[in-house]
Amino acid sequence: MAPKMTALLSALLLAAVGVDAQMQVDLDKPSSIKSAAKTIAANLYSFYHGAEPGQTPGILPGPPPGGPYYWWQAGAMWGTYVDYWFYTGDDTYNKEATRSMLFQAEPPVNAYMPVNWTASLGNDDQGFWGMAALLAAEVNFPNPPADQPQWLALAQAVFNTQVARWETQDCGGGLRWQVEHTNNGYDYKNTIANAVFMNIASRLARYTGNATYGEWATRTWDWLHALKYIDENYNVIDGGHIPYNCTDLNPVQFSANAAMLVHAAAVMYNYTEGQTQEKWRGHVTGLVNRTIEFFFPEGIMVERACELEDRVQCNTDQHSFKGYMHRSLATVAVLAPFTFDTIVQTLRTSTEGAVSSCKSDGTCGFRWNTGSYDNDVAAGPAGQEMSALAALSTMLINQQKVLNGPLTNMTGGTSKGDPNAGQRYTGLSPLKPITTADKAGAGIVTILVLASFLGSVVWMGMGWSES
């Protein structure tokens, strides 16, 4: 064979091997982590087309059959990019993240309730966008132009519109899964909708110092605990249906539920003092221990509800959950320092597994405990990329700006708020303190549960998805 032909074939062979080669990252070197994260961030962005002419800013392709992704997952993606910027300093995606989070807020209410998505709008969906905006405030993500809604105000708008939907006539309180009564799941009061609400409330309390937000966070926790959505061993289950007074408990455990709650509990621990703080310390300890025990067998994260030993039956939504867990636990480690060593070691081992699932070009798999890329793309690959990006980003936790904790308006946070945000359009009343009657409502939940538990109830499984 001619020398030139031999050289050409060798080059092609090396190129082919390079494409399938496993990603190599030194987790002890920030430069190596940042380089790998940059590669994965670019891969994730390749699935987004909202910046292209004629496309809608802010969303991933969907919903089915137009694409695999529902509206909420793009909000989670932009939150991942905000964290990516915070940990790595790479501002490549900042401009589009800002444009997207402002566009999808949709004026005049600016509360992430766009008309085009009402057919599948859940309280959790709205909340994921609100959490992304709140994160932007907490890390001093560049503020929008002065004539546009601000990060803190956007999160407050989400909170205010959800407070208006909290109801006590069914199951003694809580938010329904879906916003519109015509949506499948409207009769389901599930953990994720309420955990996201608590997450936003607790973080608003800490950021603004307004105790009413903290009271709502506590009220939500007490309601979830009274219904045994959080049990005595800190298992976090999925929810129950209104026709059964929320007693037909769906025992499945999804990591997103636990992630939102452990984050919120850590915020409340950090925000409170004295005996109240000790109470939250106990909740944080219980949730961290059980979460790691259940979702990190052998130290590597597994989505236990659907990622089985012999098969994966996770839907598109569930393919992104690992990223939320890694990001939440990293924040918990900072806000509740007594958890730091345990969490960071767990996240490191799990991230090693995540990296082993990635190819050198930044294509990452879903299973992190097999040691190689798993070719799992059936449910859409954006969730896998988000999770791997989150895992790598949070390995940069030892920077002082991270260890200082999320900012507040007293510690350098610059985002401007509006306590009445979201109310001008909906006609809601101004934010009111919780009354004695409100507090009593949560206390009678257990009585309602016992009174309504007549005979056996049929367990009704709910897939964590709009579909």
Other C-beta atoms within 10 Å of 283: how many? Answer: 20
Task: Quote the number of domains for the chain.
Answer: 1
Residue 410's identity, in one-letter code, is: M
H or E, element range at 156: helix 151-163
Residue 369 maps to a domain: no
By the 8 A CB rule, do 257 and 236 touch? yes
**The pLDDT value given to residue 449:** 40
Residue 171 maps to a domain: no
**The pLDDT value given to residue 448:** 43
- 49-106, pLDDT tens digit by residue? 999 999 999 999 999 999 999 999 999 999 999 999 999 999 999 999 999 999 999 9
pLDDT of 259 higher than 60: yes
The 3-state DSSP class for residue 188 equals strand
**The pLDDT value given to residue 435:** 55
Residue 183 maps to a domain: no
Residue 70 maps to a domain: yes
Which of 217-256 are b and which e, b meaning 16 or more Cβ less than 10 Å from the residue's Cβ?
bbbbbbbbbbbbbbeeebbbbbbbbbebbbbbbbebbbbb
By the 8 A CB rule, do 389 and 37 touch? yes
pLDDT of 175 higher than 80: yes
Note down the domain range covering 415. Answer: 56-163+404-422
**The pLDDT value given to residue 423:** 83
Residue 319 maps to a domain: no
- 363-418, pLDDT tens digit by residue? 999 999 999 999 998 888 999 999 999 999 999 999 999 999 999 999 999 999 99
Residue 326 maps to a domain: no
pTM of this prediction? 0.90
Q: Is 253 left (phi over 0), alpha (psi -120 to 50) or beta?
A: beta
- The three-point CA angle 151-148-55 to 5° equals 95
The Cα–Cα gap between 317 and 177 comes to 15
Residue 417 maps to a domain: yes
Backbone angles phi, psi at 358, to 5 degrees: -105, 145
When pLDDT is averaged across residues 427-435 and rounded to a whole number, the result is: 50
Residue 43 maps to a domain: no
The 3-state DSSP class for residue 358 equals strand
DSSP 422-443: THHHHTPPPP-PPPHHHHHHHH
Long-range contacts formed by 12-19: CB under 8 A, 24+ apart: 18/360, 19/359, 19/360, 19/361
Counting Cα atoms < 13 Å in the Cβ hemisphere of 277 gives: 8
When pLDDT is averaged across residues 188-195 and rounded to a whole number, the result is: 98
Strand partners, 250: 239
Among all chains, which residue has been given the structure tokens 């190129």? 15
Higher pLDDT: 118 or 94? It is 94
**The pLDDT value given to residue 380:** 85
* Confidence band of 439 (pLDDT split at 50, 70, 90): low
**The pLDDT value given to residue 462:** 43
Residue 120's identity, in one-letter code, is: S
